[in-house]
Chain A
C-alpha cells in the first residue's frame, strides 16, 4: 500500500467488506490490487463510512456463519445499510458467491437462492457464457464469450418467478450463464440447478452485479487461469471512463 507510486490518474478505490465469516475477502483484495492504478481497503461489517469508494466488493464466505439461509443475517448489518445507500447513489457494487446471496437477501438484486440441486457443496471450474458484455462489469469480454471460472458453494441454485425472469431477460440483466465447452446451456453443464442456467445477474441500473462463480480465483496463471480478470478490468475501465 505504498502511496509513493503516484500516477496522474486518481487510483480506483475498491472497498472489500469483511463480515466475521467472510473468507474470500483477502482473495478479492489481492486480486484487485494486482491491477495497476487501484487501491483497496477492507470495510469492517460494523463500519458505515464508504462514500469515498468507487466500487464495493461483497466477497465470498459465510458472513455470519450462515447456519440459517445464506446472507439472511448479513442484510441487517450496519455496513449493508451503507452499501445500499452507496448503490442507490450510483456506486458500483459486486457480490461474489456469498456476496451475491447477500445482495439477493437485501433486495438489491432480484431472485433468491435454493440449495444446490445435488444438495452438496460443489467446488469446480465451470464454463460461463457472457450474455451481456455491455454492463459495467463485463465490457472486457465479448458477447457470447466462454470463460472458465470456478464455483464453490452449497446454495447457488438461482430462482426467480416467471414475471421476474421475463423482466430479467427483457432488460438484459442476466449477465452470465453456466454452459458447456461449446457454449450450450445444457442441464449437464448446470452445476447447481439454477433456473435458466443463470450464474450472475445485475440490477436494472446496471451498477449492482452478483454472481456465484469466483472471478477473483482466476486472475493469475500460476493458480490456473486469468479468465476472471475481465470483470475487474471492466470495472476499472468504467470508472476511468467516468472520471475523464
Chain B
C-alpha cells in the first residue's frame, strides 16, 4: 500500500461518513464515539445498510395483500401459497464485489441471498440471476462474464440449489459497473417460519459457522456505497471469499434446529457483519444485546475489535436460543461439524454493548444504529436526454434485406440462446423442474401437490433510461406476462433497484420515477413488493449504468401439468397475435443493434388491457386451448416467431395486415403483445374465451421455413435451420472472439 495524503482526513471521513453525520452520532451518544463505535456507525449509516437516499421513496410501494405473510423488513418476503405452505423470496445485488473480483463477488452474492432465505426457516429451492455486462467485444467483459457465471455455478451447484432462471444482457453502460443481481426462493411450512426478532432478556446469542477474518472489511460502506474510480482495484480486499460447503452444512444445521424447535430467532451475517445482524435483531425486538467479541473464533491473529465487529466473513449465522436448549443446539452444530459459540445475550437495555472479555469497548443505542441514519432528499432533475415524443416512424431507413436483419437480431447476445450460461448451472437438482431453461418462466412442481410455483426475473434498463416511469411499469408487466405465458398467475414481486449516484439530481429523479412506475404496475397486477434491495452508486468514472429496477416475480400454477412453453407444437396450428399495441423503434433492441442508437420515448403499457390479455392466455392454457405462448419482447414479433420456430423445430407462414413499415412492425417493441398457437379444432373454444379482446389470426405453423409477409409483400423467408444455427452459436462465437 502506498502512503496517501488521504490519511490526513478525519477518521469518520475515511470510513465514508459526512461531517454532519458524525455530529449526529455524537449527539445521539452524548459524547464522541470511540473508533470501534465509529466503525460500526459508519457501516450502519452507509447507504447500503441505512437506505439514506431511498427510504423516503420506498414507502410508496404497495407491500401488503391477503397472501403476503411477510413484507419488507425481514430477511425475505413470504407469500402464502395455500394449505399451510409458503414461499420465501428475495433479490439482492452484488454488483460492486463482482466488478472487482467476478468469481468470488458472484459466489458470495449467492451465499448471501441463500442465507437470507434459510434465515426465514425456508429451504432454498431455486436461484435466479439477472446479469448485466458491457459489450462482449471487450476482453474484460468476457472475463467478467466467465468469472461471474463460474462463481454462481460453483456456489449454487455445490449448495444443491438449482439455478432456474434469470437473464443476461450486454450493453455499453454496464461496462465499468456490471450488475450482478441474485434471487433466491425457498419453501417453508407456515408454522415453521423464523424471524430475526430478538426477544426474551437472558436468551443467548450463538454465532454459528465460519471463523471471522479480515475479509470484507468495509464491504458495505467503502465498496457498495461509493462509485468506482482509479482506486477500484485497491478495493479487492473488501470482497469476501465464499465456502459453499460450509454454507451447505449451515443450511442443513439451521433447518434441523428449526425442525427441533430450538430457535427463538435466526439472522444471517451479511453486510456489516456482527454489527448489523445483532443490532437489527435487537431493534426488531425492542431489546438490547450484550456481546463479547473475545468469544468470536477468529481466522487470523491480532484482529482489532472493530474489525471483528464489521468483518463480512461469509457463512455465518446468529441464532437466538433459550439458555436451557444450549446443549441441544451445540449437538446439532457438532453433528454438522460447525463451530458454534455463545457470544452474547439479550438484555432489556436497548443498547448494543460490546465487550472484549470484561472490558466494555462499545456502547451504542440500538435505535441510533438502526433507525437514525439520516435520510436525504435530493432535488430531482429530469435528465436532458428524456423527450416527450417518440421518434417519427420514418426516422430510420428501412433495411433492405429483412432476412439479414432477422439473422443479426437473433445473433444479438441479448436475444440469442443462453445455453452456454445455463449449462454451467445445475438447473435440475431437487428434481422439481417442470419446465426447462428457455421457457417463458421457470416452473417448479411442489412434491406431493398438484400446484407449482413459477418464477421469473425481468429488467430493462434501456427502456428505463428513456423513461423510468414507463420503463418500470413495463418491467413489471413483462414479468407478469412471462409468468402468464407459462400458465401462472402472478402473486408478488421482490425488486433490486440498480441506479447510479443518488446524490445527483438526475439519478434521484430516475429512482423516484421508477419507484412510482413500479408501484403503479404492482397495484394493477396485485403483486405487492415483498422486499428487495437498493443498489446505488453503480457508476464508474462518473458514468452511471442505465437506471435498472429489476423485478423478481413469483406466481402460482394450480396444476403443474397445465403449463405451456413458447415452442411451436404441430403443423397446421393457427398462430394468433394477442394485443393491439403498435411496435416502435424507441428503446428497442432493433434500434440499438441495427441503427446504433438509443433514443426517443418508449410506448407506455396499457395496464388494464395487459391484465385482460394475460388472463386470457392463462385461461387458454388451463383449458388446453393454447398449444404455445410466447410474449413479444426483445427483437419484436419477428424474433418472437423465430424463437418459437427454432425451439419447436418447425417453420411458419405468417401474413400481417398492417399499414406500418415492415421493419418496425416486425422488430419494433411495445408492451402488451403475445403470440399463441391454437389447433384448428379449438378456434371456436378460443373465440369464446377471448370474446372482444384484440386478437388477430396471423398465420399457421408448418414447413421448414419462417415466411412472413406484410403489406402484401414478402418480408422474411428463411430456413428455420439457418436461423437456429445463428441463434444457437452466437454467444459462444462472441465469447470465443472476444479474447
Contact = CB atoms under 8 A, between A and B. Distances in A.
Contacts of B375: none
Most chain A CB neighbours (cut-off 10 Å) among B244, B248, B336: B248
Interface stretch (B112-120, B151-159, B279-287): B151-159
A154 B434 CA distance: 24
A167 to B, nearest CB: 33
A136 to B, nearest CB: 24
Contacts, number: 91
Most chain A CB neighbours (cut-off 10 Å) among B150, B153, B429: B429
Contact of A21 (B248, B424, B445): B248
B428 interface: yes
Contact of A222 (B157, B419, B434): B434
A21 B159 CA distance: 8
Nearest to A120: B424
A30 interface: yes
Nearest to A61: B160
B424 A121 contact: yes
Interface string B138-166: 00000000000010011001111000000
A122 B423 contact: yes
B426 interface: yes
Given A20-B245, A65-B158, A222 B428 contact: no
A24 B248 CA distance: 13
A231 to B, nearest CB: 15
B337 A20 contact: yes
B150 to A, nearest CB: 7
B733 interface: no
A150 B428 contact: yes
B337 A24 contact: no
A30 B245 contact: no
B425 interface: yes
A150 B419 CA distance: 14
B427 interface: yes
A30 B431 contact: yes
Interface in A121-153: 121-124, 150, 152
A84 B77 CA distance: 46
A214 interface: yes
Given A23-B248, A30-B447, A123 B424 contact: yes
Contacts of B434: 222-224
Interface residues of A, number: 32
A152 B245 contact: no
B12 interface: no
Contacts of B158: 21, 23, 62, 65-66
Interface in B148-187: 150, 153-154, 157-160
Given A20-B337, A152-B157, A64 B245 contact: yes
A181 interface: no
A223 B160 contact: no
Given A24-B429, A27-B430, A223-B431, A121 B157 contact: yes
B423 A124 contact: yes
Given A214-B428, A224-B436, A121 B153 contact: yes
Contacts of B423: 120-124
Interface string B538-568: 0000000000000000000000110000000
A123 B425 contact: yes
A216 B426 CA distance: 14
A20 B249 contact: yes
A57 to B, nearest CB: 14
Interface string A7-24: 000000000000011111
Contacts of B248: 20-21, 23, 62
Given A20-B248, A20-B336, A20-B337, A220 B431 contact: yes
Contacts of B403: none
A121 B245 CA distance: 17
A55 interface: no
Contacts of A66: 158, 245
Given A217-B431, A223-B431, A65 B426 contact: no
B561 A222 contact: yes
Given A24-B160, A62-B248, A121-B157, 6 more contacts: A20-B337, A21-B248, A62-B244, A122-B423, A217-B428, A224-B433
27 contacts: A20-B245, A20-B252, A20-B336, A20-B337, A21-B158, A21-B248, A22-B160, A23-B429, A24-B429, A27-B430, A30-B447, A31-B431, A60-B429, A61-B160, A62-B245, A65-B243, A65-B246, A66-B245, A120-B153, A121-B153, A121-B425, A123-B423, A123-B424, A124-B419, A152-B157, A154-B157, A220-B431
Interface of A: 20-24, 26-27, 30-31, 60-62, 64-67, 120-124, 150, 152, 154, 214, 216-217, 219-220, 222-224
Q: Which 5 pairs of residues, A with B, have the shortest CB-CB distance?
A: A23-B160, A65-B245, A152-B426, A27-B431, A62-B158
